[in-house]
């Protein structure tokens, strides 16, 4: 964790990007392959299923936390270069603003995917 803090916002972004990738990938794998739905569920059943699957994904994230932390430390220098490029390419005034834009994109992508998959199963 100390090594990750040394990278500052790039270290945080690296960990956040790995978390986003973990949650999206694991959610999709569990939803479609580990516990596939029988068919059209209805809104209430699809929402309950979503909550149960997210609980399983969260529990799995606790088991893989150290692996993701190690990956974030390893990726932090590359994320730092990428964040600098992103900041200059899209004319952000600071890396902090570019960081917030990337975080916003991660949250938006996750929410859209979770909502769309759940809604399509309803």
Q: How far apart are CA 10 and CA 4, in angstroms?
A: 8
> What does the domain layout of the chain look like in residue ranges?
11-33+40-121
Which tokens hold the place of 9?
Answer: 């916002």
| Model confidence at 107: pLDDT above 80 | yes
Left, alpha or beta for 91 (phi > 0: left; psi -120 to 50: alpha)?
Answer: left
| Model confidence at 2: pLDDT above 80 | no
User: Cβ distance 11 to 76 under 8 Å?
Assistant: yes
Model confidence over 28-58: pLDDT tens digits? 999 999 988 777 888 898 899 999 999 999 9
Percentage of the chain lying above the pLDDT 90 cut: 75
Q: Model confidence at 90, in pLDDT bands (50, 70, 90)?
A: very high
Q: How far apart are CA 14 and CA 78, in angstroms?
A: 9
Q: How far apart are CA 8 and CA 36, in angstroms?
A: 40
The pTM assigned to this predicted structure is 0.88
Q: How far apart are CA 93 and CA 89, in angstroms?
A: 11
């Amino acid at each position: 964790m100390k090594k990750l803090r040394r990278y500052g916002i790039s270290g945080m972004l690296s960990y956040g990007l790995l978390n986003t990738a973990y949650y999206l990938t694991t959610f999709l794998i569990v939803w479609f392959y580990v516990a596939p739905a029988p068919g059209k569920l209805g809104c209430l059943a699809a929402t309950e299923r979503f909550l149960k699957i997210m609980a399983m994904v969260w529990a799995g994230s606790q088991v893989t936390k150290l692996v993701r932390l190690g990956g974030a430390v390893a990726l932090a220098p590359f994320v730092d270069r990428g964040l600098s490029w992103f900041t200059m390419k899209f004319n952000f005034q600071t890396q902090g603003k570019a960081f917030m834009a990337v975080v916003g994109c991660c949250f938006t992508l996750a929410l859209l995917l979770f909502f769309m998959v759940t809604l399509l199963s309803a």
